[in-house]
Amino acid sequence: MNVTWVMGPPTGEEHGRYLALDLGGTNLRVCEVSFEAFSDFEVLINKNPLPEEVKHGTAEELWDYVAECLQRFLHEHHTGPSEKKVPLAIAFSYPVTQSSLRSGILQRWTKGLDVKGVEGHDIVPQLEAAIGRKVGAHLEVFCTREEPSALISLQGLPIDIVAVVNDTVGTLITAARQDPEVKIGSIFGTGCNAAYFEEASRIPKIHGRSNIPDDALVAINAEYGAFDDERKVLPCTRFDDMIDQSSARPGQQTYEKMVSGLYLGEILRMVFLDLHESGALFQGADPTLLRQQNVIDASFLSAIDLDVPGSVQEMGRLFKQKLGIEPSLPELRICRQLVEMVGIRAARLYACGIAAICKKNNWSTCRVAVDGAVFENYTNFRKRTMAALGEIFDWPPETETRITLQHCKEGSEIGSALIAALASEGPRRHLLQT
Ligand code: BGC
């Protein structure tokens, strides 16, 4: 449960142009968002895949890559040198300890990232140093070649880092600006997590600080992907144990490894392989591809787990293309059931996390804004989660659903830009700089 120093929902007054850098588990997105007060916004986004060597390299390599992508974005989208630095928020989808909005000490990497030299350090000075290196390097180019393209670099990267924001908090803020009934922001993508607003008086970590009124609302990043790392509550299977053991960080993110997109394909692959090796499935087939780690990803499940008649043929094509296997029709039916089992378990466990936050706050109705590619593309996931919530809260059949989930596209980036706006101006500015 991390205190984020995001104090209350936006008012709608936010306006101006802000930058956000979103460092997730799969991509690095650089965006510029322009807001008008009490109105809509415009967003420009550049998506850069995070190369494997960067995911497992050093802090310097990671931040140099980030600075490079940022510079390219500024170069493409800014026509001339600007007098004023643009406020930038880092949307950082990993657990950080924050002593202020503008700092974030990485607690641990999740989602398979394993960059040396970042855990235990504040990411803001690390990125600033990389930006400094970039400016220095381009100054040299400018002096020797007088390239016009170096002009923007000569200015320094015209940015000012004002906030470190978890993706769940960004999503909460984006959705709450449009709909005040939204109480939870969540991510269901490569990873899984949620955030909500808590009254300061109910947060032992900060309660009693003289500059924070008891009734101030503070966004809490639940970081519940790490729920039950002691393995006392969740009904883990031997496949979960295998996923954990083969991961970059065994013993961590137990709940996330049972639920989120990064792991669903791998769970399914292990079940298929186990059944094949025991002679129950894909008899006579060549399992070479099936033995490859991560050959199946979450898109495989969402492509199969559809309510469309005739999808068995489509499924056959997918097995051939991805796994080099041509299952018989009865085998395809079994596989379909296995996919459903993995998908249903994920949705039911995901519902538990949302339900826990609602129960803690005694909310009987709530809107949940969810961002993340798996939520967006896995069509059966939303309705299964809602059904599971109905079971947890024991709503009588035919009752109108009281906790609803809505997609909040690019919530993380837009919300981070909004938080940059809140940090740069507005009445709560002093609180944000605690
Ligand atoms: C991280 C969270 C993040 C979630 C969704 C988890 O692995 O620990 O900080 O919100 O993934 O991206």
The yes-or-no verdict on residue 153 having pLDDT over 70 is no
Contact call for residues 67 and 127 (beta carbons, < 8 A):
yes
Higher-pLDDT residue of 398, 337? 337
Q: Token pair of 322, please?
A: 């991805």
Nearest 5 degrees, angle CA 242-CA 386-CA 418? 90
Ligand 1: atom nearest CA of 168 is: 10
Q: Token pair of 424, please?
A: 């740069």
230-280: pLDDT as tens digits: 999 999 999 999 999 999 999 999 999 999 999 999 999 999 999 999 999
Given pLDDT bands bounded at 50, 70 and 90, which one contains residue 172? Answer: very high
Mean pLDDT value across residues 70-83: 75
Half-sphere exposure for 392 (CA within 13 Å, toward CB): 23
The best mutation among 26, 50, 94, 190 to test binding of ligand 1, ranked by most ligand atoms within 8 Å of the C-beta, falls on: 94
Res 145: pLDDT: 45
What's the gap in Å between 138 CA and the centre of ligand 1?
34
What's the gap in Å between 221 CA and the centre of ligand 1?
9
317-329: pLDDT as tens digits: 999 999 999 999 9
CA 235 from centre of chain = 25
What's the gap in Å between 280 CA and the centre of ligand 1?
37
Res 83: pLDDT: 62
CA 321 from centre of chain = 29
The yes-or-no verdict on residue 385 having pLDDT over 50 is yes
Residue 352 CB coordination number (10 Å): 18
Atom 11 of ligand 1: nearest residue by CA position: 191
Output the ligand 1 site: residues, CB below 6 A: 93-95, 110-111, 166-168, 187, 191-193, 223, 225, 256
User: Which amino acid is present at 244?
Assistant: D
User: Which amino acid is present at 361?
Assistant: N
Q: Which residues are catalytic?
A: 93, 108, 167
What's the gap in Å between 372 CA and the centre of ligand 1?
11
The best mutation among 3, 167, 221 to test binding of ligand 1, ranked by most ligand atoms within 8 Å of the C-beta, falls on: 167
Largest CA distance in the chain: 75
Burial of residue 334 (number of CB atoms within 10 Å: 0-12, 13-18, 19+): middle
The yes-or-no verdict on residue 169 having pLDDT over 90 is yes
The yes-or-no verdict on residue 357 having pLDDT over 80 is yes
Burial of residue 279 (number of CB atoms within 10 Å: 0-12, 13-18, 19+): exposed
Most confident of 238-242, 304-308, 363-367, 420-424: 238-242
Ligand 1: atom nearest CA of 25 is: 12
What's the gap in Å between 76 CA and the centre of ligand 1?
30
Contact call for residues 345 and 314 (beta carbons, < 8 A):
no
Res 310: pLDDT: 67
Q: Which long-range contacts (CB under 8 A, 24 or more apart) does 124-128 make?
A: 124/90, 124/161, 124/164, 126/59, 126/63, 127/63, 127/66, 127/67, 127/90, 127/161, 128/161
Distance (Å, rounded) from C-alpha 268 to C-alpha 285? 17
Atom 9 of ligand 1: nearest residue by CA position: 94
Mean pLDDT value across residues 200-212: 86
Ligand 1: atom nearest CA of 195 is: 10
Atom 5 of ligand 1: nearest residue by CA position: 191
Range with the lowest mean pLDDT among 108-117, 316-325, 342-351, 395-404? 395-404
Beta strands in 202-355 (DSSP E): 217-221
Confidence (pTM): 0.92
Given pLDDT bands bounded at 50, 70 and 90, which one contains residue 309? Answer: low
Mean pLDDT value across residues 20-27: 90
Q: Token pair of 267, please?
A: 């769970």
